[in-house]
């Protein structure tokens, strides 16, 4: 089941909310969330619910062992065992075929490549359970004594299948003590509608233009061979905009749903395109993932010591690999690691002295080339992409197809560029400060939300499959 679906919006969610709010008892509300979360997850792939339940049970038991025997050999053994289990399951489902393919290619072997279906959301809930057991071991959180409550944390449908990665410490107190205020309901529903609009109205239309320009994995990215320099850059920019609106849209819906149920998830995107350095970009983009690697991988003792730059490149290797079993994702991660390494060597003070215009040009060039690397999973097509960026493929500076696509989608492009900047919040903030304008701002917000919901619903009428990009991670 997906959020951008009429069945979810107008049946599943209303029924869930009715069952949730007919009681004030937290224990019953927790049970409602567990039941509806398991239904949500099992809707498309019921067989994989067994992996989710097994993972939650194993990590619950490990947490109890660590809580009962803190700072002991048993606790350390339990932690190591859980990490082996969690990472083993993730590797088995996500990377086995990739490993076998590369093993065959490297040693000229003929090992059958297994066709393993990736359980939806396994990368997200695995990282949640890892963060939980590690925080228990470090004494940052207390081990949860109730398996039902821990299962609710792991399986909660707002963030189950595509994040953000919600740490146990963020909602530890709200599992037992939470309430939903009128403000939570208002801001929660508003956030859901905004996220839905980002996905259905903007991201889906951007994806159509991207496919028309660059091609897709299904057709072998055949368009990239004949694309002009301008078309290639335009496509790379659109890929970045598409991914932003798709993933931030999901995060908005997840955060909004959490607010309605009384949970306050951390922000996952903070206008990343206004950054003036690549380090800042990753402080604003997919924050839950970047902070996970920062806190749990960066300071790992490599070869017996904490190595600053070794840890840095390990983080970015893992960041790339986490996104998918393909070399382009690994190159993408190391690509960002290289620029962050360069910025570290330059130093924060010197980076801040860079003229703002130059800083924005530098960061946007790096970011949008990065999105191109992310998009082309076929290395041959990726090579053609790099050539097309500088005209080394022998093609022209511009082409009619790009010009037509640009003009036909000019308002979509303008809207996307405006919405990636904090312009709307600034207007709202200024208007609220004006005397007597609070009611007008509130009314305008309600009208806009109603219009976004209506338009999104109309666009979803004939849509049969509308998954978010990060479902595949």
Name residues whose C-beta falls within 8 Å of residue 288's C-beta, 6 or more positions apart in sequence: 163, 164, 165, 166, 167, 266, 268
User: According to the model, what pLDDT value does residue 464 have?
Assistant: 65
User: According to the model, what pLDDT value does residue 330 have?
Assistant: 96
pTM for the whole structure: 0.93
| Alpha-carbon gap, residue 418 to 441, rounded angstroms | 19
- Percent pLDDT > 70 in the chain is 97
Q: Report residue 276 as tokens.
A: 């003036």
> Is residue 302 predicted with pLDDT exceeding 90?
no
Among 56-70, 170-184, 219-233, 445-459, whose mean pLDDT is lowest? 219-233
The 3-state DSSP class for residue 302 equals strand
Q: Are the beta carbons of 113 and 104 closer than 8 angstroms? A: yes
Q: 3-state secondary structure string, 125-183?
A: HHHHHHHHHHHHHHCCCCCCCCHHHHHHHHHCCCCCCCCCCCCHHHHCCCCCCCCCCHH
Residue 4 binned pLDDT confidence (cut-offs 50, 70, 90): confident
What separation in angstroms does the CA of 86 have from each of 124, 131, 136?
11, 11, 16
User: According to the model, what pLDDT value does residue 436 have?
Assistant: 66
> Is residue 127 predicted with pLDDT exceeding 90?
yes
User: According to the model, what pLDDT value does residue 471 have?
Assistant: 66
Residue 234 binned pLDDT confidence (cut-offs 50, 70, 90): very high
User: According to the model, what pLDDT value does residue 221 have?
Assistant: 83
Q: Report residue 49 as tokens.
A: 């619910």
User: What ranges do the domains of the chain cover?
Assistant: 6-178, 184-276+354-472
418-423: average pLDDT: 94
Q: Report residue 236 as tokens.
A: 């790379």
Please name which of 224, 267, 248, 276 lies closest in space to residue 402, comparing C-alpha atoms.
Answer: 224
The 3-state DSSP class for residue 253 equals helix
Phi first, then psi, for residue 310 (nearest 5°) are -65, -45
Active site residues: 323
> Is residue 304 predicted with pLDDT exceeding 70?
no
The 3-state DSSP class for residue 306 equals strand
Kind plus residue range of the DSSP H or E element containing 443: helix 438-460
């Amino acid at each position: 089941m997906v959020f951008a679906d009429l069945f979810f919006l107008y049946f599943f969610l209303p029924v869930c909310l009715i069952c949730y709010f007919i009681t004030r008892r937290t224990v019953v509300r927790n049970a409602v969330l567990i039941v509806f979360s398991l239904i949500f997850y099992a809707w498309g792939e019921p067989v994989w619910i067994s992996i989710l339940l097994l993972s939650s049970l194993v990590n619950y038991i490990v947490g109890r062992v660590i809580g009962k025997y803190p700072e002991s050999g048993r606790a350390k053994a339990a932690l190591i065992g859980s990490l082996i289990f969690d990472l083993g399951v993730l590797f088995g489902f996500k990377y086995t075929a990739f490993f076998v393919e590369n093993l065959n290619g490297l040693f000229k072997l003929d090992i059958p490549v297994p066709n393993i279906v990736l359980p939806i959301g396994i990368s997200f809930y695995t990282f949640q359970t890892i963060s939980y057991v590690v925080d228990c071991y470090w004494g940052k959180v207390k081990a949860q004594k109730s398996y039902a409550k821990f299962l609710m944390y792991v399986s909660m449908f707002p963030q189950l299948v595509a994040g953000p990665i919600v740490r146990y410490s963020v909602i530890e107190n709200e599992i037992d003590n939470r309430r939903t205020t009128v403000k939570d309901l208002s801001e929660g529903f508003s956030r859901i509608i905004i996220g839905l609009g980002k996905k259905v109205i903007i991201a889906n239309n951007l994806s159509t233009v991207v496919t028309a320009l660059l091609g897709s994995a299904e057709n072998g990215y055949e368009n990239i061979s004949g694309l002009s320099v301008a078309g290639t850059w335009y496509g790379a920019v659109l890929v970045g905009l598409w991914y932003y609106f798709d993933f931030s849209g999901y995060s908005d819906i997840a955060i909004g749903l959490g607010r309605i149920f009384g949970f306050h998830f951390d922000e996952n995107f903070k206008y990343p395109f206004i950054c003036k350095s690549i380090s800042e970009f990753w402080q604003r983009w997919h924050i839950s993932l970047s902070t996970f690697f920062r806190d749990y991988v960066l300071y790992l003792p490599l070869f017996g010591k904490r190595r600053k730059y070794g840890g840095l490149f390990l983080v970015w290797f893992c960041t790339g690999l986490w996104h998918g079993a393909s070399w382009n994702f690994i190159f993408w991660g190391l690509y960002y690691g290289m620029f962050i390494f360069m910025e570290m060597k330059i130093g924060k003070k010197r980076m801040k002295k860079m003229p703002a215009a130059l800083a924005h040009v530098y960061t946007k060039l790096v970011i949008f080339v990065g999105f191109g690397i992310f998009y082309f999973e076929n290395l041959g097509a990726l090579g053609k992409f790099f050539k097309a960026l500088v005209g080394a493929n022998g093609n022209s500076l511009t082409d009619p197809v790009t010009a037509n696509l640009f003009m036909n989608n000019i308002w979509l492009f303008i809207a996307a560029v405006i919405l990636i900047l904090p312009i709307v919040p600034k207007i709202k903030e200024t208007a609220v400060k004006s005397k007597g304008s609070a009611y007008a701002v509130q009314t305008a917000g309600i009208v806009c939300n109603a219009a976004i919901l209506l338009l999104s619903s109309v666009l979803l009428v004939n849509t049969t499959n509308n998954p978010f990009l990060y479902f595949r991670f």
